Chains A and B, each alone.
Chain A
Amino acid sequence: MDPSAPSLHKHGSSMASNSSGSSSDRQRVAQQRLRIIAGHLQRPVDEEAAVLAAECKAKGSKADVPKVTEEKTVPRRRQEIMKWNGWGYSDSRFLFNKKGQAEFTGKRYRLSGMIIPGLKDWMEGTFGASMQHKMPATPILNSDAVKPPTLNEAFVDDLKSTSIPFSHDAEDRVFRSHGHCLHEIFALREGKVGRVPDMVVWPNCHNDVVKIVELACKHNVCLIPYGGGTSVSSALECPPEETRSIVSLDTSQMNRILWIDEKNLTAHVEAGIVGQDLERLLNESGYCTGHEPDSMEFSSLGGWVATRASGMKKNIYGNIEDLVVHVKMVTPQGVIEKSCQGPRMSTGPDVHHFILGSEGTLGVVTEVTMKIRPMPEYQKYGSVVFPNFEQGVACLREVARQRCAPASIRLMDNEQFKFGHALKPQVSSLFTSFLDGLKTFYITKFKGFDPNRLCVATLLFEGNREKVLQHEKQVYDIAAKFGGLAAGEDNGQRGYMLTFVIAYLRDLGMDYYVIGESFETSVPWDRVLDICRNVKARIVGECKERAVQFPPLSTCRVTQTYDAGACVYFYFAFNYRGLSDPVHVYEQVEHAAREEILANGGSLSHHHGVGKLRKEWMRETISNVGMGMLKSVKDYVDPNNIFGNRNLL
């Protein structure tokens, strides 16, 4: 669902030492896992809030509401804990300290409070960035920059009578006017605000949503559902041509697990719950969904469904479409849901697939029944170094062919490998640094790997201990056939860490004239190498053509394997000093890169979605008839375009 992001991977290795399968141990494991996850959070978890089979809270007294929100990760006023113009928690950010060393602040993450000695050199070397040239962000939102809301008085009056909380405070509105595309964040950093929602509502349950949608239909108000706000497809941008009052429907307060069915291994969950809460609460009962998109700290279940999200451990647990058993969505035509929870049905086209990927254009997903699994007893990271990217891809292909992919397997190219290296925190002992030196010597000198060509695959195994070890051996054996050398758990773990810090790093880059973003695609196996080479080269070429003065960082990694292909991620960043309109240049290059992806047999998106950013390619992607099919669904379900975010079509 998101480019970037945070994650819970770090607890993995500490679990690796636990090895028992007994149920009391299982609980201990769960407890431990819970403690670790809790460490991410600002506030301690209220144990009582864990699993509720509650009725809609909104029906209760008003006084309850603030109490409940307090216990949750995501408060109504997000700006209290999160940055309004950057990624993630306000207390966590990269900065260069007085000694000029990079440091990550806060206490939430493993990297928090650590010094990253290599980062400065890497930034200077890779981008030509300089500590002397700083471009700080506007610290505080100037409310004057926000246009006063256009309110639909009748709607507001009716809404008041439902006692569903709402706000037209400028900060609340601005926070919900964007996702995390480069141009969105860049504008916010400059204090520029475009069209923002006119008000924000916080339904507490399915019935609240039903009421809001009814009122919106009645008063012709435009609704834009808002989950975690981690979109990278301009999906949350308010269409500038929209003249009606725009109401942002923030689902964050619908965040309870309503029931868990251990017989069928399913859980029924409100769709506003964010990934970290869902995992935490399920873990307490010894379960997990295993759905871990990189953005899972902030992205919501409803958002996953609406964008066809993918999690890094999909090899074991599946992508969102494999996990969903039942969905409830409120549309202007009423509520859509299936009548039973059979595991598979032959009842015409699956209506779930109108909902999955609908990107908020048809309605609001309110409740989802999801598959759950018992928590894995054992997790182990790993990594393999390959002499070059070609060999690495060949290995991944073979792993996919033998269908023995670990929970996660990712292949980083050489530039990303170096990037990962630059993010190594300061080592505490001489011995460790000596060991590192020895490893480097072994790989580059003894094995003859070219440090400018080698690349690394990171692995995460999960399951029963014996099987994990067996599985691990199988994968390393395959890797060996392609010249791969096992490179230890640390490298693997750091690789996964890179995933979540990169979003924070972008903010650091922007402080020093470096802008960047990632985008993804899926592509058949035989095209993987070609697409990686060509898209990277296209990015470099386009930057040159557009007079970008410093060579860009243009790098990629293969992040998912499938039977018939893979998911590829591209990272692109450059130093924009000397450019008058860097965002425009960035967008042109990204546009060209997407054209290149499509010309090389890649898809428009693997899991980020289309939003408004990639709309122009939809017709050629799904054909005229395909567009017609989707349009006719939209026309039936939402004839007055109440869900008017104008994504997708």
Chain B
Amino acid sequence: MTSSAVCSHRDPMLKKRDDFEDMLEERRNSSDLRYALRCYTPVVYKGLAPCKANQLKNMVLQSEQIHYVINQVSKEMGKAVDEVQEEVSSILEEMAQRLQLSTVRFFAFTLSKVFKTLFRSICVNEEGIQRLQQAIQEHPVVLLPSHRSYMDFLLMSYILYTYDLALPVIAAGMDFMAMKFVGEMLRMSGAFFIRRSFGGDKLYWAVFSEYVKTMLKNGYAPVEFFLEGTRSRTCKSLTPKLGLLNIVMDPFLKGQVYDINLVPVSISYERILEESLYARELLGVPKPKESTSGLFKARKVLSEDYGSIHVYFGQPVSVRSLAQGRVNRCQFNLKPRHIPRRPSEDIQSFVNDSAYRLVRAQEENMVLKPWVLLASLLLQNHHQNQAEGQKRGITLDELTESAVWLRDLSRHYGAFLHWPDHTPPSEVVASSLSLHQGLVRISEGRVQLALEQGGQAKPEKPHSTITPEEDLLSQAVVVLSCASYRNQALHVFLRPALLASAIHAASSNNKQDIYNSFSFLRNMFSNEFILCPGATIEDFEEACFLLVKTGALQVTQQEVVVTERGHRTLTFLTSMLDPFLQGYQVVCRFLCEEATEALTEKQFVPAVRKFIIKHLLAGRLRYSEVLSSDLQKNSLAALLRLGAVRKIKGAEQETLKVNQVMVNSLEDTLGGKLPTQKAAVARL
């Protein structure tokens, strides 16, 4: 049933995936009310100790763990035990879910209505549902959906309700709770709320982790959370956050349950509701605080067509088999298990590796729509034309030809592409373009990004008052929105693209040189993309395999040679990665040229943004997507990780200390001006 095989297959073409069923179809043909009120009898965990939501709180309060921490905190803070206990109760009160079937039924009814207006279809792999049903009975289950939209968790619960599966309890950010009424509604549909940051708060951490573990261990309900921690504004998977994964793996590692099933779920939206919202957020318009009125303003979205959603329930992954041979569980033998302690190094690295594998598993089952390929092509075309000063856009025929070429390539790379094969390619292209008419324009038979009108951004502003900077930003909104679709395909092309860029950067055809270069790039971008830690050689081999298989490369013992017909592929791949390469270089440039002694992490993004705008306006930089704060933050994280920038604890706040020499040399290496140092990387 469960499998440990989260890692990719040798030949991705051979990957077997389930078929989808449209669950909205039935909703369009039968009564929503009857559906919402129907008999709901999900299967439960075989070891379930039935209890009510309120009893859960008591179980947590009476647990040894909480007793221990209460006593500890009371001693340390000099507070009375009662007082701390009160605190615990109120934390629990604030946190706890109050799952109620009636609320779920309410949502089932309203969401049916909403979904039917918004989406053409919601497709679910029913075999995945069956696997999940089996998994729920066997062991406690953790659901790990990808996170691209606010919709995600309502959608998840909606699907589980529809298929008569146990409703999950969902870890949600506290900001949702701030939404009056809606917060409570969510709570009653199974959400429990956690503070976004509680780094040093021992008591909060203890209560929170015990609460989650109690629900999991007792099989109260599947526990659902987002590995990525937050919605990905860029549509590329975020590097996983480990806190909750640590918590849910703990009961297994400590032997309190026999096993835990982790179920990665990939939710792919053909068109994301928050599309331009995200782009603006990345450009520095701060994220509006979640509020009920904000949600209602979002009502205008109801009138638009958002295409279809694909939800793929992946193969359940058994924590036991993940841990087999990786973790020595005896390490918990010598200290009472209820005494909290920092996870050992091998557990940290185990959880980290597992998290990456799980995010990879999510990525692999993300459904790609033809538009994703079109967006990639249009972006590349846009930048190329911009550079060469050519006529803007690409003819429809050319675009179709390229799209078909890219379709075949991506399939060879194992993409989960939903391309209607029985429809002529030109129709497929046309219908994709029409769904995304906010982002593209077709004029004179040429397709191009809809930049002139500034996308959908503030068309009400009089044209005259628009400064060049504002114009740039409004164009960037479209570019970033487009990039968010291209990003959905990144995981398919990432490894070959890293290899292509490495070949491009390496001075010779020597395999070792190219490997070194590959390894450098991979290391550099490991905050940007999902690259499993320690898997450099595997990734290199996979990239070689794919490029050789498609005839783009010849790889011998010593050499890597690009074939005649491989140029198109390699050009496409390097162009795909180029914005990121340039982006990281610009950030390095900024740090070398403009970073002052007093630069703090908070000031970093605005400052680097200003710097980039300057360069963009001056034409020294062509990729406006470099304005994405996501890329900027990731590059800073990479530099911090590599030790090129350090955080210095100052009197008032932490400042960033730049190692000029190192940053400079990283920039040069990224730009291909310096060979990669062999000493720094493992040999093949």
Give the interface of A toward B (CB within 8 A).
526-527, 530-531, 533-534, 537-538, 598-601, 620
Select B330's contact among A526, A531, A598, beta carbons within 8 Å. A598
- If A530-B255, A533-B47, A601-B330 are given as contacts, then 6 extra A-B residue pairs at C-beta distance below 8 Å, sorted by A number, are A526-B337, A530-B256, A599-B328, A599-B329, A599-B330, A620-B330
Contact B337 A538 (CB under 8 A): no
Give the shortest distance, in Å, between B66 (CB) and chain A (any CB): 16
B336 interface residue (CB < 8 Å to A): yes
B467 interface residue (CB < 8 Å to A): no
In the complex, chain B residues whose CB is within 8 Å of the CB of A600: 255, 329
Contact A533 B258 (CB under 8 A): yes
Measured CA separation A599–B331 after assembly (Å):
8
B344 interface residue (CB < 8 Å to A): no
Measured CA separation A531–B337 after assembly (Å):
14
Select A601's contact among B258, B259, B333, beta carbons within 8 Å. B333
Give the shortest distance, in Å, between B414 (CB) and chain A (any CB): 29
Can you report 9 residue pairs joining A to B where beta carbons are below 8 Å apart? A526-B337, A527-B255, A530-B255, A530-B256, A533-B47, A534-B258, A538-B258, A599-B328, A599-B330
Across the two chains, which residue of chain B brings its CB closest to A531?
B255
Measured CA separation A593–B312 after assembly (Å):
35
How many interface residues does B have (CB within 8 Å)? Answer: 12
* Residue from the set B255, B328, B330, B336 with the largest chain A CB neighbour count within 10 Å: B255
Measured CA separation A599–B320 after assembly (Å):
12
In the complex, chain A residues whose CB is within 8 Å of the CB of B328: 599
Measured CA separation A598–B328 after assembly (Å):
10
In the complex, chain B residues whose CB is within 8 Å of the CB of A531: 255
Measured CA separation A598–B332 after assembly (Å):
11
In the complex, chain B residues whose CB is within 8 Å of the CB of A538: 258
Across the two chains, which residue of chain B brings its CB closest to A620?
B330
Measured CA separation A417–B208 after assembly (Å):
40
Contact B255 A601 (CB under 8 A): yes
> Top 10 nearest A-B pairs by Cβ distance?
A599-B329, A600-B255, A537-B258, A601-B333, A530-B255, A534-B258, A534-B255, A530-B256, A598-B330, A599-B330
Contact B336 A526 (CB under 8 A): yes
Measured CA separation A538–B337 after assembly (Å):
21
In the complex, chain B residues whose CB is within 8 Å of the CB of A598: 330
- Mask, B621-633, CB within 8 Å of A = 1, is 0000000000000
Residues of B251-270 contacting chain A, CB below 8 A: 255-256, 258-259
Measured CA separation A620–B331 after assembly (Å):
11
Measured CA separation A537–B139 after assembly (Å):
11
Measured CA separation A537–B259 after assembly (Å):
10
In the complex, chain B residues whose CB is within 8 Å of the CB of A527: 255
Contact B336 A601 (CB under 8 A): no
Contact B332 A601 (CB under 8 A): yes
* Residue from the set B47, B332, B333 with the largest chain A CB neighbour count within 10 Å: B333
Say yes or no: A599-B258 contact (C-beta < 8 A), given A526-B336, A526-B337, A620-B330.
Answer: no
Measured CA separation A526–B332 after assembly (Å):
12
Across the two chains, which residue of chain B brings its CB closest to A621?
B330
Residues of B440-495 contacting chain A, CB below 8 A: none
Give the shortest distance, in Å, between A80 (CB) and chain B (any CB): 47
Residues of B310-347 contacting chain A, CB below 8 A: 328-330, 332-333, 336-337
Measured CA separation A557–B337 after assembly (Å):
23
Measured CA separation A321–B41 after assembly (Å):
57
* Residue from the set B47, B328, B329, B336 with the largest chain A CB neighbour count within 10 Å: B329
Across the two chains, which residue of chain A brings its CB closest to B49?
A390
In the complex, chain B residues whose CB is within 8 Å of the CB of A533: 47, 258
Across the two chains, which residue of chain B brings its CB closest to A527?
B255
Give the shortest distance, in Å, between B350 (CB) and chain A (any CB): 14
Measured CA separation A533–B47 after assembly (Å):
10
Across the two chains, which residue of chain A brings its CB closest to B332?
A601
Give the shortest distance, in Å, between B247 (CB) and chain A (any CB): 18
* Residue from the set A527, A531, A599 with the largest chain B CB neighbour count within 10 Å: A599
Across the two chains, which residue of chain A brings its CB closest to B333?
A601
Give the shortest distance, in Å, between A71 (CB) and chain B (any CB): 50
Measured CA separation A533–B256 after assembly (Å):
9
Give the shortest distance, in Å, between B346 (CB) and chain A (any CB): 14
In the complex, chain B residues whose CB is within 8 Å of the CB of A534: 255, 258
Measured CA separation A601–B254 after assembly (Å):
9
Measured CA separation A507–B31 after assembly (Å):
64
Measured CA separation A562–B132 after assembly (Å):
42
In the complex, chain B residues whose CB is within 8 Å of the CB of A537: 258-259
Give the shortest distance, in Å, between A386 (CB) and chain B (any CB): 16
In the complex, chain A residues whose CB is within 8 Å of the CB of B336: 526
In the complex, chain A residues whose CB is within 8 Å of the CB of B337: 526
Measured CA separation A601–B333 after assembly (Å):
5
Measured CA separation A8–B336 after assembly (Å):
40
Residues of B34-55 contacting chain A, CB below 8 A: 47
Measured CA separation A201–B336 after assembly (Å):
51
In the complex, chain A residues whose CB is within 8 Å of the CB of B258: 533-534, 537-538
Give the shortest distance, in Å, between A317 (CB) and chain B (any CB): 30
Give the shortest distance, in Å, between B571 (CB) and chain A (any CB): 48
Measured CA separation A600–B320 after assembly (Å):
13
In the complex, chain A residues whose CB is within 8 Å of the CB of B333: 601
Measured CA separation A538–B256 after assembly (Å):
14
In the complex, chain B residues whose CB is within 8 Å of the CB of A599: 255, 328-330
Measured CA separation A488–B337 after assembly (Å):
38
Measured CA separation A140–B368 after assembly (Å):
72
Measured CA separation A369–B555 after assembly (Å):
78
Across the two chains, which residue of chain A brings its CB closest to B318?
A541
Give the shortest distance, in Å, between B480 (CB) and chain A (any CB): 49
In the complex, chain A residues whose CB is within 8 Å of the CB of B332: 601
Measured CA separation A534–B258 after assembly (Å):
5
Measured CA separation A601–B336 after assembly (Å):
11
Measured CA separation A601–B328 after assembly (Å):
11
- Mask, B226-266, CB within 8 Å of A = 1, is 00000000000000000000000000000110110000000
In the complex, chain A residues whose CB is within 8 Å of the CB of B259: 537
* Residue from the set B330, B332, B337 with the largest chain A CB neighbour count within 10 Å: B330
Measured CA separation A600–B257 after assembly (Å):
11
Give the shortest distance, in Å, between B324 (CB) and chain A (any CB): 10
